[in-house]
Amino acid sequence: MARSSAAKHAKGEHADLFALLAQLPLGYKLTSLDKVLYPDQGITKGELIAYLAVVADWMLPHVAHRPLTLVRCPEGMQGTAHHGKPCFFQKQRLAGSPPAVAPVPIEEDDGEVVNYMQVADMPGLVALAQLGTLEIHTWGSHADTPEEPDLMVFDLDPDVGLAWDKVALAAFDLRGRLHRLGLKSWVKTTGGKGLHVVVPVERGLDWDAFKGFTLAFVEQMERAEPKLYTSNVAKAARKGKIFIDYLRNGRNATFIAPYSPRARKGAPVAVPITWEELAAGVDAAAFNTVTVPKRLAALKVDPWAELNATVQRVTAAARRSVHGK
């Protein structure tokens, strides 16, 4: 089939989808909907936009009004945008961004105030996809008080070849240790080989104290199970172990948002799950932009329904417990 003929065929295949997207209440124009962003799956920008529109109600409680960092691939994963770099990180809001991607003024370490990004609604999420965003990462704080973190994240990153069961058991171990400190936690897949254990907390600690608590907590786990866990970021230190990444809890650090796709083959998605699902043997590799909407349609209860309603804090006793004071 000639290239022009193939393009016409593709547009015809997506005509119904594009017609539905045209009905979204966005306030701006969608363009290049037939551009292929995931070549291995043939997933187009239009299909990515449709995915985000479908999951918006589930995703926004965990993304809205948080400073964002994006992984943008305007020409797709194998594109040649930006001098041969197919994908790039973007932290600051650029001139000409859609109004649905609003600014978040944040002071940098050198004193300069720059505008980061935030979204508030479905049109905001769709605007990110219109920009060619394949990954949405969030801060652990909200845009109104960016210097007061309110979401703790422990990223379980296993060495290559380490069995999934060990990662799952590590998540349960982490959950139990947090519980003993009076902290309830939730879990999500990452679109990769690890898991995130997340802990909502009341605001009050600054970033240094927040990160310091998570470091001390992880070091405590490492001392208890030195053959299984490491807090050392060096690849050489991870051999046969799980790196428990506490660095996501630092100022200006981010983590993959729930329901965000990843810029990886197969269009995998980071997905909130229940602890019961994890215990039963969830297949994280099965979550992608095609299967996740079907999962959500079948769910009777949001796995993270109680997360944002949970009121808990890092107490002085919990800090003393992990710091050994």
Q: CA 121: distance to chain centroid?
A: 17
Distance CA 21, CA 269 (A): 21
Q: At what angle do helices 45-63 and 291-298 cross, to 10 degrees?
A: 50
Cβ contacts of 146 within 8 Å, gap of 6 or more: 67, 104, 106, 139
Structural domain harbouring 72: 11-138
User: Do 93 and 171 share a domain, yes or no?
Assistant: no
Task: Give the integer Cα–Cα distance in Å for 52 and 265.
Answer: 18
82 pLDDT above the threshold of 50: no
Query: How many domains is the chain built from?
Result: 2
312 and 186 in one domain? yes
Q: Among 138, 168, 196, give the residue marking a domain's end.
A: 138
Identify whether 199 is part of a domain: yes
In terms of domains, do 126 and 226 share one?
no
**pLDDT at res. 85:** 61
Q: CATH code at 83?
A: 3.90.920.10
- pLDDT tens digits, residue range 84-128? 567 999 999 999 999 999 999 999 989 999 999 999 999 999 999
Beta carbons of 193 and 158 less than 8 angstroms apart: yes
Q: Same domain for 87 and 219?
A: no
Does residue 116 share a domain with residue 17? yes
pTM attached to this predicted model: 0.94
Q: In the predicted model, is pLDDT for residue 79 greater than 80?
A: no
What pLDDT was estimated at residue 1?
A: 37
- Whether residue 125 is found in the same domain as residue 248: no
For residue 5, tell me if it sits in a domain. no
What gap in Å lies between CA 136 and CA 70, rounded to an integer? 5
pLDDT of residue 109: 87
More confident residue, 78 or 148: 148
Considering the domain architecture, whether residues 40 and 103 belong to the same structural domain is answered as: yes
Q: Domain check: are 100 and 54 in the same one?
A: yes
Residue found under tokens 């053959």: 227
Query: Is residue 143 domain-resident?
Result: no
3, part of any domain: no
Q: Is the pLDDT of residue 81 over 50?
A: no
pLDDT(237) > 90: no
Same domain, 271 and 220: yes
